[in-house]
Amino acid sequence: MHIIPVLDLKGGQVVRAERGRRDLYRPIVTPLSASADIAAVAAGLRMLHPFPAFYVADLDAIMGGAPDEAVLAALRGMDRPPELWVDAGLREAGPLAAALAKPWLRPVLGSESQADDALLRRFSGHPGLVLSLDFTAEGFRGPPAILKHAEIWPSTVIVMTLAKVGAGAGPDFGRLQGIVARAGNRAVVAAGGVRGAADLRALASLGIAGALVATCLHDGDLAPPQIGALSDEFPARCGTAVPAAPLSGTVRQQTGA
């Protein structure tokens, strides 16, 4: 199971997400960092575990603003620069192609940001592309063709259940199971509702390759020994969830998860 910490970015600061209601997101208050600065929060998360990758949701860009390149530079300036999975509301071929050309970046194509399935069809074969299937409490958010045609999904697919984010209600296991059944050999990554190690084990039992997590890390519900026991690195630019060699100094154990 690849555990990827989430950094939701709004107004240049990391915010605490709650049920996808972005107008209510406020700068994060966490015991892991003295500020909501993105590099400080990421460093605090790495005090729990040497995470090799972070997921960044640039909410201003998703809502139509300009991407915040400075925060990506700050993260890349960290010791052991992480791989970054970034949803910046990509809607055009030029910016997506430029993002895919960066070996440290995995651009996330959010279904909620798409007018149709043309961009996905054009780039779905690229191993660095990540598709996010975005769901609200009302259902799928995006062009219906993206959800309908699993054959155009790339090798890595996030199932983003916005209504579950920060709610402490657990993942949407039924929806995730349905997507896994349709995904073939693609890696499916769960997002929204993970409460701790028990949820991660349950997700792994469904064939989920990874999970995006935030609240359970900041609230201490997912402890460092559990992270180490459950974590596998996700191969860069690859949709196959194959365990990789541990990071230097990291002790990891195999579990039945």
- Tokens 């709004």 identify what position? 10
Q: Which residue has the higher pLDDT, 11 or 244?
A: 11
Domain 2-230 CATH class label:
alpha beta
Tell how many helices (H) and how many strands (E) occur in the chain.
Answer: 10, 11
**Furthest CA-CA distance within the chain:** 45
Q: Closest by alpha carbon to 46, among 211, 226, 217, 255? A: 217
Phi, psi of 189 (to 5 degrees): -115, 125
- Predicted confidence at residue 112, as pLDDT, reads 94
Q: With bands split at pLDDT 50, 70 and 90, how would you rate the model's confidence at 186?
A: very high
Question: Domain ranges in the chain?
Answer: 2-230
Residues 6 or more apart whose CB falls under 8 angstroms from that of 12 comprise: 68, 70, 71
What is the per-residue pLDDT across 217-227, written as a single tens digit (0 to 9) for each?
999 999 999 99
- pTM for the full predicted model: 0.88
Q: Is the pLDDT assigned to residue 202 strictly greater than 60? A: yes
- Predicted confidence at residue 242, as pLDDT, reads 31
∠ CA 189-225-8 to the nearest 5 degrees?
A: 40
CB 23 within 8 A of CB 17: no
Give CA torsion, residues 180, 181, 186, 187, to 10 deg: 20
